[in-house]
Amino acid sequence: MQTMLQPNTTKQKRLKKRKRWGIHLFPIPALAIYGLFIVYPQLAALTYSFYDWKGIKRGVFIGLDNYKNLFTQEPFSGYFWNSFGHNVLYFAVQMIVQNGLAFLLAFIIYQKIRGAEFFKIAYFLPRLLSVIVVGFLWKLILNPNYGALNVIFGAFGLENLKKAWLGDPDTALMAIILVNCWFGLGFAVLIFLAGFQAIPRDLLEAATLDGAKGLMMLRRIMLPLMMPSIMIMTVLTFIQSFEAFELVYAMQGSQGEPYHATDTLAVFFYRLAFGGGTGDSTAIGLGSALAVLLFLFISVITAFYLRYMQKKQVDM
């Protein structure tokens, strides 16, 4: 019996082995493309940041000097902190305006109002446009002379609201952030709506029987259960607002006009990497140092936040 089976099993084993070998080719194309175009540039940026650069030519190894210069040398240190503050504001306003509104709108749609599908589509539609289209479209709308917004304000008799929103350093950044909220609102609504819909119905019914209703229901029962989707939106908003580039570039150019009032870290980075188009020379070393710092900042904060929230959820 055993002798009869022997050749058969070894043959099977060999067959299996041959198949196993072929299977290892499966992840190779993805790994190769991902490694070359995603991982390698990050590692390369790290090494670039330790060198002195003359234009696109690598000079000598200078250790942490690029990092030091970024914080001590004017105008770089000024740009850095100025931009950093703008990014913080970007994040805060998006959290409050975009995500706050989205939470409210998702809650409303969740109440089974009529036309829910229409509202979802309406909020989501701007998300389909290219960010450059969004930027250019709003630049036309916000134009002080012919733009639609000032005409609308005029029609409602709000003459004092008619102004050059993008030309005034006091309002330009806020205008851009609000345009970003307009763009991102629908996506946030869908995320929160998915969160609401994932709450088990019988749990809500049980709470209703116990006398929970209205705001109390929202705060005590639903809010804790919404934490996963709130967490997702917070992380996505955080990453996106600290990488903010396209909209500022489209609406205010690589200098963050007016007078760097709309500058962000990524726009500042772009100037360092490719020159500002106004005769600034490129500074690849400094740019790479900034890229590394921003990468560390984003990933460390995100990791800590996720960790903290997970712990909190276990506690609840």
Partner 1 sequence: MKTTIWMKPFYYVIAFVFASISLYPIVLMILSSFKPSMEIFMHPLALPKEFSMETFKKLLEQVPFMTYFSNSVFVSVVSVLLTLITTSLAAFYIARYTFWWNHIMFFIFLMGMMIPIKLGIVPLFILMKNLGLTNSLWSLILMYTATGIPLSILILTGFFRTIPRELEEAARMDGAGDLRILWNVVLPLMRPALGTVMIINFIQSWNDFFFPLIFITDELKKTIPVGMMSLFGEYSADWGALFAGLTLSSLPMIVLFFIASKQFMEGLTAGAVK
- Shortest reach from residue 110's CB to partner 1, in Å: 8
- List b or e across 81-115, with b for residues whose CB sees 16 or more CB atoms inside 10 angstroms: ebbbebbeebbebbbebbbeebbebbbebbeeeee
Would you say 89 or 217 has its CB closer to partner 1? 217
In terms of CB distance, is 124 or 171 closer to partner 1? 124
- Minimum Å distance from CB 145 to partner 1? 8
Cβ distance to partner 1 smaller for residue 34 or 259: 34
Nearer to partner 1, 173 or 284 (CB): 284
Q: How far is the CB of 29 from partner 1 (least distance, A)?
A: 4
Q: Closest distance between partner 1 and the C-beta of residue 307, in Å?
A: 14
Minimum distance of partner 1 from residue 190's CB (angstroms) = 5
CA-CA distance, 133 to 254, in Å (whole number)? 17
What is the nearest approach in angstroms of partner 1 to the Cβ of residue 90? 15
36 vs 64, beta carbon nearer partner 1: 36
| Rounded alpha-carbon distances, angstroms, from residue 216 to 70, 97, 106, 158, 219 | 50, 23, 18, 38, 5
List all residues 6 or more positions away from 315 whose beta carbon is below 8 Å from its beta carbon: none
**Complex with partner 1: residue 93 or 185, whichever CB lies closer:** 185
- Between the two ends of the chain, the Cα-to-Cα distance in Å is 61
The encoded tokens of residue 33 equal 């493309």
